[in-house]
């Protein structure tokens, strides 16, 4: 078989797996995108404060979701053994874990104002950020419960109408944002905090809708148990042990962005608003990487189960190639029409937003290259996970993000005086270093697996 024919077959296989995952991820990120667009109707300072709040919220949410990402794998294994009792114990353990995490995260969100001031954030921005997070805190619990239900149903290969629920939640979130921001339809006028209350409400309603679907399907309801007080310690330990490295890796990446956002916040409200907008643009695009990463990971696991390590390597680089090409195509409007990309997030008639628009347009030039590295490192994490390695990614993230990216960002942005542009250059360098190390580890790990006797290949 020729190279191009094999590549086309692999690309079609990965694309077919990735497409529904990408659509669901894009639907989910549309919630925060809608929130930021709505913030733009209030002004640049509200975008800055709300964007900082979303960054901090997403840092915690990402770590919480990582804690139960491995639950799907554990449930799938138990389901393969027809162990209904074990599935039930794992579900209870996952709900217990997300409940504990959500309560801790909510308490942190309620005391955030003083730490923000210690980190040299603008006082009024810190106050608005704290008010937003106080309203967002109640939404953390149903948000993580939703993730638990998601992993439970995916583990049983019965994901249900996740996409449909998410799409409905987008429309509901936009309507509630508008109503609570401006006091429409009998709701109080809450301004920026209204967006947080709207999103918290949508998280709760989405969880209840998903729970209703699960309870309405006998094959799902029979394994479901919300009795967290009856959690089995052994099942809890298994869930924690599987989820902790994943949460640490997700958290390390998210924290890298969070820390740099806080550094940018010390440069002023305009820089923070520009950061919020462009970060959201590349976050939307990042969902393509997430889908390709999961699809490549699953494909590699299947190949390794058959000791086809040549095929695993080929699938890994096919997924990477698809991601890089997609990022290059998406980058074209960043370079050709940056203002058109940014304007949906700002009030076109507000003269105060002109400086923010200029800053954000400049950042898009860096983002055109940065998102290629971001995609590569995300797919790198996925293909390593496909080989059964969930620990190396965390160690590599510490090196790439914190020992390389952060010092470069601080030197270029603060010491050498290039401001937000220097910080984003450091961000790009950190992502590029992480991607390179992940791909090198992928090759090394494949070599080790290939050298093993067939009986112990995995």
pLDDT confidence tier of residue 265, bands split at 50, 70 and 90: confident
At residue 159, the pLDDT reads: 62
Burial of residue 117 (CB within 10 Å: 0-12, 13-18, 19+) is middle
Contact 374, 282 (CB under 8 A): yes
- pLDDT 10s digits, 83-106: 888 888 898 999 999 999 999 999
At residue 200, the pLDDT reads: 95
- pLDDT 10s digits, 388-441: 787 898 899 999 999 999 999 999 999 998 999 999 999 999 999 999 999 999
DSSP string computed for 356-412 = HHHHHHHHHHHHHHHHHHHHHHHHHHHHHHHTT--SHHHHHHIIIIIIIIHHHHHII
Of 100, 290, 57, the residue nearest 196 (C-alpha): 57
Cα–Cα distances in angstroms (integers) from residue 45 to residues 34, 39, 129, 181, 217, in the given order = 17, 9, 10, 15, 47
Q: What is the mean pLDDT of the chain?
A: 87
Which percentage of the chain shows pLDDT scores above 70?
95
At residue 66, the pLDDT reads: 86
d(CA 187, CA 174): 14
Angle between helices 71-80 and 84-110 (to 10 degrees): 170
Contact 431, 405 (CB under 8 A): yes
Q: CA 368, 371, 372, 373 torsion: positive or negative? A: positive
Which residue has better confidence, 28 or 449? 449
The DSSP letter of residue 414 is: I
pTM for the model stands at: 0.76
d(CA 78, CA 86): 6
At residue 432, the pLDDT reads: 97
């Amino acid at each position: 078989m020729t190279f191009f024919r094999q590549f086309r077959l692999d690309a079609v296989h990965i694309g077919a797996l990735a497409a529904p995952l990408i659509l669901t991820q894009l639907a989910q990120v549309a919630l925060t995108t809608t929130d930021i667009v709505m913030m733009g109707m209030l002004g640049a300072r509200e975008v800055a404060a709300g964007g900082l709040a979303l960054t901090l919220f997403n840092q915690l949410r990402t770590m919480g979701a990582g804690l139960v990402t491995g639950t799907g794998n554990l449930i799938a294994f138990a389901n393969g053994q027809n162990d209904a009792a074990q599935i039930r114990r794992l579900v209870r353990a996952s709900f217990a874990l997300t409940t504990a995490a959500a309560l801790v995260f909510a308490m942190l969100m309620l005391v955030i104002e003083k730490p923000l001031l210690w980190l040299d954030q603008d006082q009024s921005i810190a106050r608005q950020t704290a008010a937003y997070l106080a309203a967002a805190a109640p939404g953390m619990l149903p948000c993580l419960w939703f993730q638990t239900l998601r992993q439970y149903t995916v583990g049983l290969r019965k994901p249900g109408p996740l996409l449909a629920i998410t799409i409905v939640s987008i429309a509901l979130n936009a309507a509630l944002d508008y109503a609570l921001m401006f006091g429409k339809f009998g709701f109080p006028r809450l301004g920026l905090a209204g967006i947080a209350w709207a999103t918290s409400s949508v998280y709760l309603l989405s969880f209840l809708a998903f729970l209703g679907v699960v309870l309405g399907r006998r094959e799902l309801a029979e394994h479901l148990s919300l009795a967290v007080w009856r959690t089995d310690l052994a099942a809890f330990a298994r869930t924690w042990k599987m989820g902790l490295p994943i949460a640490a890796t997700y958290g390390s990446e998210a924290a890298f962005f969070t820390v740099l956002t806080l550094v940018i916040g010390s440069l002023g409200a305009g820089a923070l608003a520009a950061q919020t907008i462009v970060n959201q643009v590349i976050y939307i695009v990042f969902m393509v990487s997430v889908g390709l990463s999961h699809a490549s990971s699953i494909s590699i696991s299947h190949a390794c189960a058959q000791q086809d390590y040549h095929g695993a390597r080929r699938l890994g680089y096919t997924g990477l190639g698809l991601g890089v090409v997609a990022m290059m195509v998406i980058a074209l409007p960043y370079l050709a029409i940056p203002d058109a990309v940014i304007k949906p997030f700002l009030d076109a008639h507000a003269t105060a937003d002109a400086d923010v628009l200029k800053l954000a347009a400049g950042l898009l030039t860096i983002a055109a290259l940065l998102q290629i590295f971001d995609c590569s490192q995300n797919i790198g994490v996925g293909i390593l996970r496909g080989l059964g390695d969930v620990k190396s990614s965390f160690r590599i993230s510490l090196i790439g993000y914190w020992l390389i990216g952060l010092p470069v960002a601080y030197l270029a942005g603060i010491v050498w005086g290039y401001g937000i542009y220097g910080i984003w250059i450091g961000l790009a360098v950190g992502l590029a270093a992480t991607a390179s190390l992940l791909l090198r580890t992928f090759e090394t790990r494949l070599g080790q697996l290939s050298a093993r006797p067939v009986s112990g290949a995995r």
